[in-house]
Amino acid sequence: LRLLVDHSVVEAFGLGGRMRATARVYPLDPAASWGVSLFARLPGGAAVADTSV
């Protein structure tokens, strides 16, 4: 599953890009944190990055 987030658009790709779901999201309070964390793992699984948005 590949998930892309860009401002108000959230797009998810699955099955190697053959399936897709897209949604627009608008927070009620733009200053509030969504409580979402993003994780990335490099090949080999050694490094993990964590960013909160």
pTM exceeds 0.75: no
Task: Judge whether residue 43 has pLDDT over 60.
Answer: yes
Q: Which two tokens stand for residue 47?
A: 């490094």
For residue 48, what are the contacts with CB-CB under 8 A and spacing of at least 6? 39, 40, 41
Per the prediction, the chain carries an average pLDDT of: 75
Q: 13 or 3: which carries more pLDDT confidence?
A: 13
Using alpha carbons only, give the angle 19, 10, 34 rounded to the nearest 5 degrees: 140
- Report the candidate in 48, 39, 52, 43 with the shortest Cα–Cα distance to residue 3: 39
Ranges of each domain in the chain: 2-52
**Comparing 51 with 11, which gets the higher pLDDT?**
11
pLDDT tens per residue, range 18-42? 899 999 988 777 666 667 666 666 6
Which residue in 15, 9, 53 sits closest to 1, CA to CA? 15
